[in-house]
Chain A
Amino acid sequence: MKSNTLLEVRNVKKHFPVSDKKLFSTQKNYVQAVNGVSFTINEGETFGLVGESGCGKSTLARLIMGLIKADSGEINFEGRNFLELRGRELRKSRKQMQMVFQKPYESLNPKMTVGQIISAPFDIHGVYNKQERVQKVKDLLEMVGLSQQYINRYPHEFSGGQRQRIGIARAIALNPKLVICDEAVSALDVSIQSQILNLLNDLQKEFKLTYLFISHDLSVVKHVSDKIGVMYLGEMVEVGDAETIYKNPKHPYTQALLSAIPIPDPTFKKERIVLEGDLPSPINPPSGCRLSTRCPYVIPLCKEMKPELSTIGSNHMAACHLFSESKLQKIN
């Protein structure tokens, strides 16, 4: 099924330099924000990316969008390496991917009217004439469940949920193929959150959109995603079908993460897997497996060798030594 792969991220790295604490020191340390992440998204599917704060989810989204430049690796969008495109070609590809941001209060320019905000992508890419633009904006407003009369209002006149709808309208204005939702519903209340999730779902059906859905809320990700990737400290630790990941998580980190979700059912009793200690610093991550300092099942090999993301079932990959038996034997 290679033909309908929309986005392929291969071994992408991004390290941010941070200065030493000493004033005139020339030595540089690096925050290993994203460290060799690979995954693919097929057309029309939703890929959920989960992980705790600081694991590199948002950096990855920005890398894919080209908002920051990757140090190494490949980002293939529709079969072309996005990192090598320049000028007009780059702009043309950019049109195909759009982003919905986390904070609906900060991602809309307060000095622009709703009409100006939603038609900004048209200005940038020079599509449609004036009348067409107005009509198109009105259509978009209708599509995201807002009244056409709102076109001349300013963002402050709207509630959080409505603003997020405006952000979504802006994102789908150019009929993109890929929409990256970076914590798009995290700032919203539950009852509003469900409205937005339903809207995203409807739009996906209507326009055959592909989503990269980033969130720290595991139940939301489970609800929207076909495939899920779990990140820890800048690395992908487990990738698989949403059902598989939730029913049969393999990586100890995924298991701990899932067992920590509070279930809204007081009769539901479960065993919790506790990870000791805090997230290690991404400047100086543990050698070997990055979870090795907190993992309840740690074996000596974990501290020595870094596990590769390897297939452990159909559409299911995990980066953990416990599942690569064959490799274990080779070393012994």
Chain B
Amino acid sequence: MFVGNALLDIKGLSTVFNTDYGVFPAIKDVNLSLKKGETLCIVGESGSGKTITSMSLMQLLPSSGKIASGEILFQDIDLVKLNRVEMNKIRGKSISMIFQDPMSALDPVFTCGSQITEAIQIHEDISKEEAKRRAIELLKEVGIPHSETIFDAYPHELSGGMCQRVMIAMALSCKPDLLIADEPTTALDVTVQARILDLLNKIKKEFNMAILLITHDLGVVAEMADRVAVMYAGQIVEEADVMTIFKKPKHPYTKGLIKSVPPLHQVDKTLYSIPGNVPTINSMPKGCRFNPRCSFATDLCVEKEPELQKIKSNHTAKCWHINEGV
């Protein structure tokens, strides 16, 4: 469907965290690639390493975190090797990001407009008036009514959905090639969520952007994704196009996750649930990281970690028992 090379290619990315108990890998051997105009969803529960992956990509890790190995090739430039000044030129321009809680991601002491023009003027040498004109245009683009008034409004005067639109306008200000959206609708109500998702789809087409969408909501995944990567305990356990993930999942974790969602069109009082909890960073189980919670686990799973195996082109899963139809 897409021509040309991958826009983003993450190869063997591992990020470690320095904690009081020692150094532990938060994500291990993550491989991802993303083409222009494509939406890739990373789905997983809290603590599975979704956000660490995106933070590593943006080089916004906290001081205790460090990329230990791997490459992040963005338009054939390895982001890991860039210094701070070089990274600043890419961050916010070619790659931009929207965050989970729009209310706290905007600075409360500046107007929405000044925050957008600031983003534009950092990356482009244009006059203040020109930047303002662009900002108002962007606010219109993301569906904000009375955009001239909102330009001078402070974040606390706006609702959550409006703030998220301002965030999106800011992220779009320099026409990025890649938009990272980290749980963009988790803090919003369903009706607002529906409109923000529609907006993301609209601007994706208009700007021909790639979107890396991080979420835990499988409904959002089904609505937005072209491809899906399922993460568990810091590793990608399954990756495929959206149809395959929902209709023919192979990894027991993916299957469990899909079955755990209360179905809307079905009457069945007992829900499927995955026993146990997501392991913490300092107590990763040996072998396959899912084995303590997996009902199909065998001795092999406890002893040895499975590789990410190819099932079909564009469908990989990290499990020993793919072919046995677990």
Given known pairs A159-B277, A197-B271, A262-B197, the reply for A191 and B222 (CB within 8 Å) is no
Chain B interface size band reads 35 or more
Q: Are B274 and A257 in contact (CB under 8 A)?
A: no
Instruction: Give A152 Cβ to nearest chain B Cβ, in Å.
Output: 21
Residue A322 lies at the interface, judged by CB distance under 8 Å to chain B: no
Q: Write 15 A-B pairs (CB below 8 A) sorted by A numbering.
A: A52-B190, A190-B261, A191-B273, A192-B277, A194-B271, A195-B274, A220-B262, A257-B190, A262-B219, A263-B219, A264-B222, A266-B225, A268-B222, A272-B194, A277-B145
Q: In the complex, A222 Cα to B269 Cα: how many Å?
A: 10
Q: In the complex, A279 Cα to B216 Cα: how many Å?
A: 26
Q: Which of B204-245 contact A (CB under 8 A)?
A: 216-223, 225, 242-243
Residue B272 lies at the interface, judged by CB distance under 8 Å to chain A: yes
Of B252-260, B296-304, B316-324, the stretch lying at the interface with chain A is B252-260
Note all chain B residues with C-beta closer than 8 A to A260: 190-191, 193-194
Q: Are A279 and B159 in contact (CB under 8 A)?
A: yes
Note all chain A residues with C-beta closer than 8 A to B52: none
Instruction: Give B194 Cβ to nearest chain A Cβ, in Å.
Output: 4
Q: How many residues of chain A are within 8 Å of chain B by beta carbon?
A: 41
Given known pairs A246-B264, A264-B261, the reply for A274 and B194 (CB within 8 Å) is yes
Binding site for A on B (CB under 8 A): 45-46, 145, 159, 161-162, 189-195, 197-198, 216-223, 225, 242-243, 246-247, 256-258, 260-264, 267, 269-275, 277-278
Q: Are B277 and A262 in contact (CB under 8 A)?
A: no
Instruction: Give B155 Cβ to nearest chain A Cβ, in Å.
Output: 15
Q: In the complex, A161 Cα to B219 Cα: how many Å?
A: 22
Note all chain A residues with C-beta closer than 8 A to B262: 194, 197, 219-220, 222-223
Q: In the complex, A313 Cα to B186 Cα: how many Å?
A: 35
Q: Are B271 and A264 in contact (CB under 8 A)?
A: no
Q: In the complex, A223 Cα to B261 Cα: how many Å?
A: 10
Most buried by A among B192, B220, B221, B275: B192
Q: In the complex, A266 Cα to B244 Cα: how many Å?
A: 10
Q: Are A256 and B191 in contact (CB under 8 A)?
A: yes
Q: Are B246 and A216 in contact (CB under 8 A)?
A: no
Residue A189 lies at the interface, judged by CB distance under 8 Å to chain B: yes
Given known pairs A52-B190, A190-B45, A190-B261, the reply for A201 and B269 (CB within 8 Å) is yes
Instruction: Give A8 Cβ to nearest chain B Cβ, in Å.
Output: 26
Q: Are B273 and A194 in contact (CB under 8 A)?
A: yes
- Checking A194, A256, A278 against B272 with a beta-carbon cut-off of 8 angstroms, the contacting residue is A194
Q: Are B264 and A262 in contact (CB under 8 A)?
A: no
Instruction: Give A289 Cβ to nearest chain B Cβ, in Å.
Output: 17
Instruction: Give A246 Cβ to nearest chain B Cβ, in Å.
Output: 7
Note all chain A residues with C-beta closer than 8 A to B194: 259-260, 262, 272, 274
Given known pairs A193-B260, A198-B270, A198-B271, the reply for A264 and B246 (CB within 8 Å) is yes
